[in-house]
Amino acid sequence: MALARSRLTAQGQISVPADVRRKLGIGPGSILEWDEEGDKIVVRRSGQFTSQDIQRALFPDGPPKSRTVEEMKEGIRRCAPLTPMSLFASLPATIHAKLLPPTHS
């Protein structure tokens, strides 16, 4: 059964039903992508984000504390001995699972 139905206007426009807008998390100005998957056409929210969206996701509590050049240099010195593998090993296991390809047993 269809989630929702829309009617195409003479100008080639459709209205996205409110339930679908809520499920997709879209509003005025949102961009939708139309993809072909086999014999189906799939509509999804586009993955385009503004720099503000990214900053809010990275720093939900506001901008990070300002650092002096000396503090940044010290941070680089402390991390310099890290190799890509030691850095990877310091990540939580949940991130390892997302970064590593699945193993087939």
C-alpha distance from residue 103 to each of 97, 98, 100 (Å): 10, 12, 9
In a domain, 20, yes or no: no
Residue type, 12: G
In a domain, 94, yes or no: yes
In a domain, 67, yes or no: yes
In a domain, 83, yes or no: yes
In the structure, what pLDDT confidence band is assigned to residue 75 with cuts at 50, 70 and 90?
confident
How many Å from the N-terminal Cα to the C-terminal Cα in the chain? 37
In a domain, 14, yes or no: no
Specify the number of domains making up the chain. Answer: 1
| Model-wide pTM > 0.95 | no
Residue-wise pLDDT for 26-64, tens only, equals: 888 888 989 898 999 988 888 767 777 788 888 889 888
C-alpha distance from residue 29 to each of 26, 45, 46, 48, 63 (Å): 8, 11, 11, 12, 26
Q: Which domain holds residue 93?
A: 51-99
In a domain, 16, yes or no: no
Residue 2 has pLDDT above 90, yes or no: no
Q: How buried is 96 (Cβ within 10 angstroms: 0-12 exposed, 13-18 middle, 19+ buried)?
A: exposed
In a domain, 88, yes or no: yes
pLDDT score for 79 = 75
pLDDT score for 17 = 92
In a domain, 71, yes or no: yes
Mean pLDDT for the stretch of residues 62-86:
83
In the structure, what pLDDT confidence band is assigned to residue 94 with cuts at 50, 70 and 90?
low
